[in-house]
């Protein structure tokens, strides 16, 4: 499952024969995607109808099919967008890799922020992963990639003796992922709790890494 997710791969180099379905830039297409995102977030997948989406996008019902083959397809495209946005948000450049605490804080903050921001769609993604193999692949990427990356980092700093994880790195990363999701939910409900959540999650993360962040900060 590569990066650029679209039903038929965008054959950008060809001239002349180029149908609407291929044009990723048509303005109506973008409006439909945004509309779909809002509608799905508001109603959930099942209850959302093509009519809801086209109404929101101010496009005729038939207009939908100029750009997407079906409800499933918009959702897949949307899912790809979410995955990209979510994973990209995990890239936190400019952090001193040697400062474990700083890395922990930055990655935790990025994860919680991204998860909270995309919560509605992520929840649907998880739900739809059940019945759609392509969506499942996207969902697994979303779930696994940050965990594996974190595990890799933990393994390294542990090997360097700069951390003493309580459990094996992959398990620890999963656990921290799980707790971060929990915090992300809270943050999605009450954005003001973001700083506090990041601080707490980071503190626990570091503690589990065996790095002495003093309890009761």
Return the number of the residue (62 or 214) whose C-beta is nearest DNA: 62
3-state secondary structure 95-158: CCCCCHHHHHHHHHHHHHHHHHHCHHHHHHHHHHHCCCHHHHHHHHHHHHHHHHHHHHHHHHHH
Of 60, 37, 52, 174, the C-alpha closest to 111 is: 174
Q: Which residue has tokens 């909270």?
A: 116
Collapse the DSSP code of 209 into the 3-class scheme (helix H, G, I; strand E, B; otherwise coil) and give the result.
coil
x/- site string to a copy of itself, residues 70 to 89, per CB under 8 A? xxx-----------------
**Closest separation in Å from C-beta 59 to DNA:** 4
28 binds, among DNA, a copy of itself, none (CB under 5 to 8 A by kind): DNA
Nearer to DNA, 131 or 210 (CB): 131
Asked if 201 is part of the footprint of DNA (rule: CB under 7 A), the reply reads: no
Least distance in Å: CB of 204 to a copy of itself?
6
Tell me which residues in 59-88 interact with DNA (CB under 7 A): 59-67, 69-72
| Closest alpha carbon to 38 in 1, 74, 86 | 74
Please identify which residue in 88, 160, 166, 195 interacts with a copy of itself, judged by CB under 8 A: 166
Structure tokens at 78: 């949307």
Site for DNA in 24-43 (CB under 7 A): 26-28
Is the Cβ–Cβ distance between 183 and 197 less than 8 Å?
yes
Among positions 15, 27, 93, 192, the unique one binding a copy of itself when judged by CB under 8 A: 15
Distance CA 13, CA 216 (A): 59
The count of other CB atoms within 10 Å of the CB of residue 46 is 10
Kindly list the residues in this chain that would bind a copy of itself in the complex (CB under 8 A): 1, 3-9, 14-17, 43-47, 49, 52, 54-56, 58-61, 70-72, 123, 126-127, 130-132, 164-168, 171-172, 174-183, 186, 200-201, 203-204, 207-208, 210-217
């Amino acid at each position: 499952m590569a990066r650029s997710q679209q039903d038929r791969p965008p054959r950008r180099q060809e001239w002349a024969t180029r149908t609407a379905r291929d044009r990723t830039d048509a303005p109506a297409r973008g409006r439909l995607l945004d509309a779909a995102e809002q509608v799905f977030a508001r109603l959930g997948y099942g209850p959302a109808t093509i009519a809801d989406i086209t109404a929101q996008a101010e496009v005729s019902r038939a207009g939908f099919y100029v750009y997407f083959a079906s409800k499933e397809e918009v959702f897949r495209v949307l899912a790809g967008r979410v995955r990209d946005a979510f994973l990209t948000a995990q890239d936190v450049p400019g952090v001193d890799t040697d400062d474990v605490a700083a890395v922990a804080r930055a990655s935790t903050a990025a994860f919680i922020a991204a998860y909270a921001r995309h919560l509605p769609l992520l929840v649907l993604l998880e739900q739809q992963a059940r019945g759609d193999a392509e969506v499942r692949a996207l969902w697994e990427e979303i779930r696994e990639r940050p965990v594996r990356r974190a595990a890799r980092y933990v393994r390294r700093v542990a090997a360097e003796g700069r951390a003493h994880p309580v459990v094996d790195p992959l398990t620890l990363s999963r656990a921290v992922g799980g707790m971060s999701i929990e915090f992300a939910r809270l943050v999605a409900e009450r954005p003001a709790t973001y700083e506090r959540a990041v601080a707490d999650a980071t503190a626990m993360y570091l503690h589990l890494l065996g790095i002495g962040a003093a309890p009761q900060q």
